Structure 1
């Protein structure tokens, strides 16, 4: 299956909501990781967003998974960018 990089962009205005929803958001992502759908995840150190790496059939599938993310459901992500990614080094190839 293709691998997708998802970039979340946050704003300072969403900090209180993200702080409140973060435990449920992380629980949701942990479930995707356990399934093997989410390969890696983590916030940017400056708080501007996060990177999520998915193994999914297509971008539509990733979009459906993202729509169920509690951060997305609570409108805490200002921008979402989904791109197919072709790792060449340092990442398990498919």
Structure 2
């Protein structure tokens, strides 16, 4: 298992408010599966961070790309492996 930091850079703050419930539900389901280490918004409203737990970069990318905020193009995804 490895950790992958998904930086979710804000693109559309108005649409973000509409999509947020889907985003939160998606992450809650992944959290139940043990796929989330940490998550939350940045205080300056520039986006947020999700730290995924995955077996590979490809798995983490798939999880991150299926986030409704990314699917709906509300936030731009930047994914990096994070070494603790």
Q: Tell me the TM-score normalized by structure 2.
A: 0.93
Q: State the partner residue of 1:38.
A: 36
Moved beyond 2 Å, runs of 4+: none
Q: State the partner residue of 1:59.
A: 57
Q: Name the SS for the 1:65 alignment partner.
A: helix
Task: Spell out the pairing of 1:16-27 with structure 2 (5 A cutoff).
Answer: 16-27=14-25
Q: State the partner residue of 1:92.
A: none
Residue by residue, what CA displacement relative to the aligned partner does 1:8-52 show, whole Å, maximum 9, x if unpaired?
Answer: 1113xx111110110111000010111100111000000001111
Q: Tell me the TM-score normalized by structure 1.
A: 0.83
Q: Name the SS for the 1:36 alignment partner.
A: coil
Q: Which runs of 5+ in 2 are unaligned?
A: none
Counting matched residue pairs gives 84
Let me know the Cα RMSD of the aligned residues.
1.0
Structure with bigger gyration radius: 1
Q: Which runs of 5+ in 1 are unaligned?
A: 88-94
